[in-house]
Amino acid sequence: MQAIINILQAGVASGTVLLFATVGELFAERSGVLNLGVEGMMLIGAMSGYSVALATGNPWLGVLVAMLAAGLLSQIHAFIAITLQADQVVSGLALTFLGAGISLVLGEGLSKAGTVSLLPSASIPLLSQIPFLGPIFFKEQSYLVYIGYLFVPMAWYYINRTRPGMHLRAVGEYPAAADALGINVYRLRYLYVFIGGVLAGLAGATISLAVSPGWFSEMTTGGQGWIAVGLVIFAQWDPFRAAVGSYAFGALRRLILDIQGPTMLLGMRNPFYYNPYWGFFLQMLPYAFTIIVLVIGSREAVRKRLGAPAALGNPYIRGERGL
Amino acid sequence: MDTLERKTTNPSVAEGATLFVEMNGIVKRFPGVLANDHVDFVLRHGEIHALLGENGAGKSTLMNVLAGLYRPESGTILVKGKVVNFSSPRDAIKAGIGMIHQHFMLVPSQTVTENILLGLDKPRFRLQLNEYDHIVADLSERFGLKVEPRAKVWQLSVGEQQRVEILKMLYRGTDILIMDEPTAVLAPQEIEDLFKTLRAMVAEGKSIIFISHKLHEVMAIADRVTVLRKGKVTAAGLDARKTTLQELARQMVGREVIFHLDKKLNTPGEIVLEVEDVCAENDKGLQALNGLSLDVRAGEIVGLAGVAGNGQRELAQVITGLRRCTDGCVILNGEVICNRSALVGIQRGVSHIPEDRTGVGTAPDLSVTDNVIMKQYRRPPIAQHGMLNMQVATKFANELKESYDIIVPNVETPVRLLSGGNLQRVILAREISGQPSLMVAVQPTRGLDVGAIEGVHRLLLSQRESGAAILLISEELEELLSLSDRVYVIYEGRIMGEVKIGAGGSSPEMIDTVGLMMTGTPLEQIRKGEAERNV
């Protein structure tokens, strides 16, 4: 029982990384811009956050810089996709390579640079006493995990129940209609791509300063940016579903790591311990899932049925009919 | 200077009437086209003013100038006596001018209320939808625009969506409403409702500009009429009560139009196409066809009437092999052709004139030659030992260019440079040259001018005489009733009934019956109602 609680507790922390990245991408896609550069932006965030925390001793300053750095990087994609109206898939892929490249060069030597003060954790009184759920969600979790809990309903409320959220949806669904009523489509799309970048940067800093601290070059994120892109489709562009998916995948990641530890499993020899190939197979699963979701989700008809923003991936050109 | 008392040179302005809008000497040029050539237009307070003209006459351009979408090269605009200079639709709305476009500017996934509030400063942050739902409901009641504020726009019929557009403008305090071909998408009963609303708005002191090319409607609703032809005003502010259909038609097209087609009597032959209990889904995975059956015989034109979006598109796709049917079957000359491929259909003699001319009907960047050989290139003489013989292809294209009057410098021109009418002639040339046994024509005259429409009609009738079976899917009731031998009416993927059109052409009762079926009343019910009334 305690083992299960431990795995789920670590899973929630690990899922918080996916949560920020997924909801960030969800904002960008809701405005009609597909940004496949999440992985690159997360790496920039993880690297810059870690190095600022190392230099200043203040992890919160690290988080702030991580968010700004990734937000800045996202604006390259915004310029190419929104102003130059180029193909968003190509530009997003390029952004991943660019982000990875920059962070590997600037992060050279960072992995053995010494220890860094991490983001604080805390237990919530009373709530952490709830049997089973208490220790999973409210015991010894990083502050960022709690911020994640508050963030999801706020994101949902913002998108569905506020005026700026309504404008966000309109711009992603039918930009011509929004434009005709005086909404600045380009400005809003820049803004939400920026917010997506900021949240990807936060996700990166969550890894390097809280969940699995340190800088391990591209292994720091280990493809979680791609899982986030897949989760947005899985979540059907809804923050609550995104949260469910993120925590489930966080828990799965922990389970895959932890299941390879013990020599005995359920009274039998643990195949994941004795045979490394079984472990590799397990590690592959989240990525296999992501590939399947992305392939299925790339079909126009399926996307429509899932409720994708109608103008997702289409640059807006004023005066052209339709989307 | 007080502009209201200013003497005007425009003869159509009666003394004493308040002027809402005065446009003087508007010139608007597009690359290669003079869309508005020194156009004057005057709108009075509390009138419905029709702007009549063929496609491409410059009606929409003139109104886009007034609505702030386009900036004119020269000319002045006065609104309620003040000179205005709009740089965006937002400025125009602030001055009280709102335009409803042919393509609705609504966000399908949002509710009616959300669409109405879009782009406004209030509510500031929280949407407070409950409160605003009430305000919208009150407004819709006041003008007889029945619509559920909480409904999502994609759930609404086209007529309801139009009401949302009108509400959007009323909510913004618009008192000059421009409507671009508002009846094109409506069923006859919905048109009557729209006219009632427009009259209610005029009674509240608003003015309406009604862009149309349909003479009957203009006569039914307008107080005054301004006619445009080729960018110039040919009649300014005619009193609708003192003019005639023939007079307006003459101003519009510059010659007398033939309203009756020369349709020869024809005895239909064998059944060519049989559609039996076909079911199919649309792109969203929703049921679009619910057990639909119909048949078409050789040498007859069978019309399919219905309001847009009731399954016409899906039916055409199932017949031409572009969409799977989930149940039922399609039989062509005794052979099942559904759920096979488009190629099977083409080889068995199905020709298709699609609704979407540039996406489905042609490859816009390819030449006229490439486009006309698309259904022939597999066979000799164009295919020779697996290669294309471009000499034969070019000769073939030139022959079609001559016989179908395709106006183009040479056949190497990419078809995207062709006008709508010419593009449709390219498609018709390709489809007819294959000597089809079945022709599926979807909206073959949409967006074409009167001359081009006549050409298309003649080609369809000559195909009928040469024994082809023709399924004509159109939203133009007039066109369907004058061309077809029989008309089916489709509603929500089902056939509501069938009307036979005899030698005498269509009658007003026929139009009423078709209109009722288009809005969902099955034929048996209409007959029953009539029988009861007669008893």
Q: Is the pLDDT of residue B7 over 50?
A: no
Is B150 a member of any domain? Answer: yes
pLDDT band, residue A1 (cuts 50/70/90): confident
Its ipTM equals 0.86
- Please tell me the predicted confidence (pLDDT) of residue B17: 60
Q: Which of residues 42-101 of B touch A (CB under 8 A)?
A: 88-90, 93, 101
- Please tell me the predicted confidence (pLDDT) of residue B256: 43
- Find, in chain A, the residue whose alpha carbon is nearest to that of B126: A162
Q: Is there a single domain that holds both residue B134 and residue B88?
A: no
Q: Is there a single domain that holds both residue B115 and residue B18?
A: no
Q: Which site among A156, A160, A162, A163 would you substitute to test the B interface, given the most B Cβ atoms closer than 10 Å to its Cβ? A: A163
Residue % of chain B over a pLDDT of 90: 36
Q: Is there a single domain that holds both residue B44 and residue B181?
A: yes
Structural domain count of chain A: 1
User: What is the helix (H) or strand (E) element at residue B112, kind and residue range?
Assistant: helix B112-117
Q: Which site among B70, B86, B107 would you substitute to test the A interface, given the most A Cβ atoms closer than 10 Å to its Cβ? A: B107
Q: Which two tokens stand for residue A80?
A: 């190419």
* Chain A closest-CA separation from residue B103 CA (Å): 8
Domain of B110? 103-173
* Chain B closest-CA separation from residue A217 CA (Å): 42
Tokens 């006309």, residue located:
B372
DSSP bridge partners of B367: B414
Q: Which of B123-127, B144-148, B400-404, B474-478 has the lowest mean pLDDT?
A: B474-478
What residue type is B393 in one-letter code?
A
Q: Is there a single domain that holds both residue B5 and residue B57?
A: yes
- CB-CB contact of B403 with B315 (8 Å): no
Q: Which of B101, B107, B126 sits opposite A173 (nearest CB)?
A: B107
pLDDT band, residue A171 (cuts 50/70/90): very high
DSSP bridge partners of B97: B176
- CB-CB contact of A124 with A146 (8 Å): yes
Q: Which two tokens stand for residue B189?
A: 């009963």
Is A256 a member of any domain? Answer: no
Q: Is there a single domain that holds both residue B327 and residue B443?
A: yes
Residues of chain A in contact with residue B88, where contact means CB-CB under 8 angstroms, are 182
Q: Are strands B224-229 and B232-239 parallel, antiparallel or unpaired?
A: antiparallel
Q: Are strands B387-388 and B438-442 parallel, antiparallel or unpaired?
A: unpaired
Is B392 a member of any domain? Answer: yes
Is A48 a member of any domain? Answer: yes
Q: Is there a single domain that holds both residue B334 and residue B285?
A: yes
Cβ-Cβ contacts under 8 Å for B12 (sequence gap 6 or more): B42, B224, B226, B236, B237, B238
- CB-CB contact of A201 with A41 (8 Å): yes
- Radius of gyration of chain A from its Cα atoms, rounded to whole angstroms: 20
Q: Is there a single domain that holds both residue B210 and residue B337?
A: no
The model's pLDDT over B287-318, given as tens digits with 9 standing for 90+, comes to 889 999 999 999 999 999 887 778 999 999 99
Q: Which of A162, A167, A178 sits opposite B126 (nearest CB)?
A: A162
Residue of A169, A128, A144, A180 whose CA lies nearest to B111: A169
pLDDT band, residue B254 (cuts 50/70/90): low
Residue of A109, A148, A132, A124 whose CA lies nearest to A20: A148
Is B197 a member of any domain? Answer: no
Give SS3 for A267.
Answer: coil
Is B194 a member of any domain? Answer: no
Q: Is there a single domain that holds both residue B10 and residue B85?
A: yes
Is A22 a member of any domain? Answer: yes
Structural domain count of chain B: 4
Prior bond of A262 cis (ω within 30°): no
Is A82 a member of any domain? Answer: yes
d(CA B438, CA B334): 13
Residue of B197, B247, B255 whose CA lies nearest to B225: B247
- CB-CB contact of B110 with A173 (8 Å): yes
Residues of chain A in contact with residue B67, where contact means CB-CB under 8 angstroms, are none
Domain of A29? 14-119+135-249
User: What is the helix (H) or strand (E) element at residue B525, kind and residue range?
Assistant: helix B523-534
Q: Which of residues B434, B449, B466 is at a domain's end?
A: B434
**Helices and strands, number each (H, E), in chain B:** 17, 22
Distance of CA A49 to the CA centre of its chain: 16
CB contact under 8 Å between B110 and A182, yes or no, is no
Judge residue B332's burial from the number of C-beta atoms within 10 Å of its C-beta, 0-12 exposed, 13-18 middle, 19 or more buried: buried
The model's pLDDT over B10-27, given as tens digits with 9 standing for 90+, comes to 444 444 567 899 999 999
User: Does the CB of B15 have a partner CB in chain A at under 8 Å?
Assistant: no
User: Does the CB of A178 have a partner CB in chain B at under 8 Å?
Assistant: yes
User: Does the CB of A299 have a partner CB in chain B at under 8 Å?
Assistant: no
Q: Is there a single domain that holds both residue B385 and residue B524?
A: no
pLDDT band, residue B253 (cuts 50/70/90): low
pLDDT band, residue B504 (cuts 50/70/90): low
Q: Is there a single domain that holds both residue B4 and residue B71?
A: yes
Q: Which of residues B434, B451, B479 is at a domain's end?
A: B434
Half-sphere exposure of A197 (CA within 13 A, CB side): 28
Provide the mean pLDDT of chain B. Answer: 85
CATH label of the domain that carries residue B452: 3.40.50.300
Is A267 a member of any domain? Answer: no
Q: Is there a single domain that holds both residue B136 and residue B225?
A: no
Average pLDDT over residues A241-264: 89
The model's pLDDT over A13-57, given as tens digits with 9 standing for 90+, comes to 999 999 999 999 999 999 999 999 999 999 999 999 999 999 999
Phi/psi at B491 (5° precision): -145, 125
What residue type is B384 in one-letter code?
Q
Is A274 a member of any domain? Answer: no
Is B357 a member of any domain? Answer: no
Is B216 a member of any domain? Answer: yes
Q: Which of residues B194, B229, B259 is at a domain's end?
A: B259
Q: Is there a single domain that holds both residue B80 and residue B158?
A: no
d(CA B480, CA B489): 11
User: Does the CB of B107 have a partner CB in chain A at under 8 Å?
Assistant: yes
Is A89 a member of any domain? Answer: yes
Residues of chain B in contact with residue A163, where contact means CB-CB under 8 angstroms, are 117, 123-127
Is A187 a member of any domain? Answer: yes
